[in-house]
Every structure is written in structure tokens, then in C-alpha cells.
Amino acid sequence: MYAFLRGTIALKSKGYLVVDVNGVGYEVFVPDSVYRRLQLQQDATLLTYCHIREDLFQIFGFLKEEEKALFIQLLGINKIGPKVALAVLSTLSVQEFSRAIQNNDVDAFKRVPGIGKAMAQRIVLEIRGKMGQNTELDVLLGTDKPEEATYEGDDVYEALISLGCTPQEARRATDNARKSLGEEASAEDLVRTALRSMARVK
């Protein structure tokens, strides 16, 4: 479909813009950050995503490739549609989203209008579950650099791996446990604390 639209901002209304492309006005839904940045009569290029259903055709626009990529990743989460995905991008920047995922910060997503605790937890769990398996997502979140070598020989990390945790889960839980108990805590106490920290986001 449309990869981008290049034209003039002809109209700004709540939640969407009308982009005049050679005399044709395209209604484009955008995150708040894009809405605030673009002004009437300004020339702009919007990267676009087309959402098509039997009774609906909507265009969503972004100024940055990573915003569009994150929007598409959010649509892959169970029960999240374009309206909620756009609300996430209107509340959190890509960098803030990345930090929230890496810190298991469910509360960050509860600030998004229309998202309650259950959906916030689902976002964290499903995105974290894809990390290490989805190259595009890893690049988007800045987690594409291998870190396993740093944790080799770490008793807590290796215990979590043996219990079935993914490397990403084990790294975060290990770090959280050490921050909570300190480096002098026993491996057994650290493992128990790590497992509790993981259970809190489930």
C-alpha cells in the first residue's frame, strides 16, 4: 500500500491530520508528538501504515522509522489494535518504551489512556518474550548486542537459565536481585529474589 505521503498539512483536527498530496487530501492519524510538531501549511513527509478491514481503511503516519516499527510491533500483541498502539506512542517515546520494557515497568504502560493493569502486563510480557528472537525488535529496543558473555560463570544467572528462563529474563532478574539485596547476598537468596521479581510481572 502507501509507504509514505509527501505533501502539505492542510488541516489539523483532534488526533489526525489532512495531508494535501497534489490536490488529494489524505486523512492520517498520528501520535501526539507528530501532531504537535507539524503545523498548518507545512510541507512534510509521513511514513505510513495502512490498516484495512472489510468496513474500514485508515492511514497512520509517523515522522521516524522507529516509531512506525514500534507501532507495527504493538499491533502484534494480543488484543491491541491501532487505537491503543497509537495511544502508547502518544504517551511514551521509543526510548521511554525501551526503558520500560527493559526495567519491567508495568506502571509506565498504565499511564497510557485505555490501558489497565492486565493489558500493561501483557505488553511487557509479550514484548520481553520476543526479545532475542525478533531481530527487528532487538534493534528497535537497543538490545541487539550480545550480553551473555558478561554473565558467564554467574551462579544466579546460570541457575535461572537451568530453571527455563530465557537469557534476557535471567539477565534482568539477576540484576534486579543484586540491586535489591546487594552483592554480598547468598546465591540462594538472590535466586529466590530474582524469581519473585519475575513473578510480579506475570
**Which CATH number fits the domain that encloses residue 168?**
1.10.8.10
35 and 13 assigned to the same domain: yes
Kindly report the CATH number assigned to the domain that includes residue 12: 2.40.50.140
Q: Which of 62, 77, 96 is the last residue of a domain?
A: 62
Contacts of 47 (CB under 8 A, 6+ apart): 3, 4, 61, 62, 63, 64, 65, 67, 68
Number of domains the chain contains = 3
| Residue 104 CB neighbours (<10 A) | 20
Q: Domain range holding 100?
A: 67-141
Of residues 60 and 174, more confidently modeled: 60
Contacts of 185 (CB under 8 A, 6+ apart): 177, 178, 193
Which tens digits make up the pLDDT trace of 74-106?
999 988 999 999 999 999 999 899 989 988 899
What is this structure's pTM?
0.69
49 and 102 assigned to the same domain: no
Task: With H, G, I as helix, E, B as strand and everything else as coil, classify residue 127.
Answer: helix
Phi, psi of 16, deg, nearest 5: -150, 165
57 and 86 assigned to the same domain: no
123 and 76 assigned to the same domain: yes
Predicted pLDDT of residue 143:
67
78 and 135 assigned to the same domain: yes
137 and 153 assigned to the same domain: no
